[in-house]
Amino acid sequence: MNCKEAKSRLVDLIQNELAPEVAHSVHAHLAQCPTCQKDYAEMQFVLESVRRTQAPSVQIEPAEIYQQAASHAEQQSRHWRRVSCALGLLAASFLIAFLSRNVEVRWTGSDPALTRTVIVEKESADTEQVRKQQEQIHHLMELTQALADEQQRREVEHQQELAELRAHVQETQQESIQWRAQMERQFAGLYQLYLVRKKGDLP
């Protein structure tokens, strides 16, 4: 075995992943090659250092996941409510803007006490223009209605998801209570056994 072949197998050798006969050949090469011996020692040091930097052990609680998922779903539902409100307001502003193009507010009278407002409809020179605007208003109203329907559908979905998640959380809590009771019973049984044995040991 030459240096290149030996070097390509150093990691496998250190991790005990080589077939015995290949491992034997690498060891034989290392025994007579100081350069590869140095590489081997360095690689061993690096791998050992990496191995020692192990991840901490983690414990994921499913109940926490269900709880977090429920709260996310609720947040999302609130977000959609806000979005639909904003869109509704926007649609209303558009409507007002369209309508105000066709009305005019005029202040009359010289005496401020007698001042009154009259709303005079502007005469539309172009009836085609009016028809188009009415169509646009109609579309806008349809869009607002569709958004409201969509929001309602999402709301129902979110409520269902929430109910499901709450049921999951409750079930998990019930299970852990049962587990705890069972553990306590087992512990009490073991303790009784211990007491009986201890009594038996007494002279």
Partner 1 sequence: MDDAELMQRWQSGDRSAFEVLIQRWQQPIARFLFRLTGEAELTQDLAQEVFLRVYQAQQSYHENGTFAAWLYRIALNVARDSARRQKPTVPLSLYPEPIREEDPDQLELRTLVAQIISEMPEELRLVIHLRLDERRNFEEIARQTGTAASTWKSRFSRAMETLRSRLQQLGYGPEETTS
Residues that bind partner 1 (CB under 8 A): 11, 15, 17, 41-47, 49-60, 62, 64-66, 68-69, 72, 168
CA atoms of 122 and 103, how far apart (whole Å): 6
Cβ at position 11, least distance to partner 1 in Å: 7
Cα-Cα-Cα-Cα dihedral of 179, 181, 186, 190, to 10°? 140
- Considering the complex, what minimum distance in angstroms separates the CB of residue 30 from partner 1? 14
**In the structure encoding, which two tokens stand for residue 31, read together?**
């025994």
Smallest gap from Cβ 21 to partner 1, in A, equals 18
- Smaller CB separation from partner 1, 65 or 147: 65
Contacts of 124 (CB under 8 A, 6+ apart): 102, 130
Minimum distance from CB of 69 to partner 1 (Å)? 5
Cα separation of 146 and 154, whole Å?
12
- Nearer to partner 1 (CB atom), residue 81 or residue 168: 168
Of 91 and 169, the one with the shorter C-beta distance to partner 1 is: 169
Would you say 14 and 27 are in contact if contact means Cβ atoms under 8 Å apart?
Answer: no
Closest distance to partner 1 from the beta carbon of 42 (Å): 6
Q: Which is nearer to partner 1, 44 or 133 (CB)?
A: 44
Q: Which one, 43 or 87, has the nearer CB to partner 1? A: 43
In angstroms, give the least distance from the CB of 86 to partner 1.
Answer: 25
Q: What is the spatial distance between Cα 149 and Cα 155, in angstroms, rounded to a whole number? A: 10
∠ at Cα 52 (48, 53), nearest 5°? 125
Tokens at residue 175, please?
């299970």
Spell out the alpha helix ranges (H) of the chain.
3-8, 10-14, 20-31, 34-52, 62-100, 127-201
* Nearer Cβ to partner 1 (17/142): 17
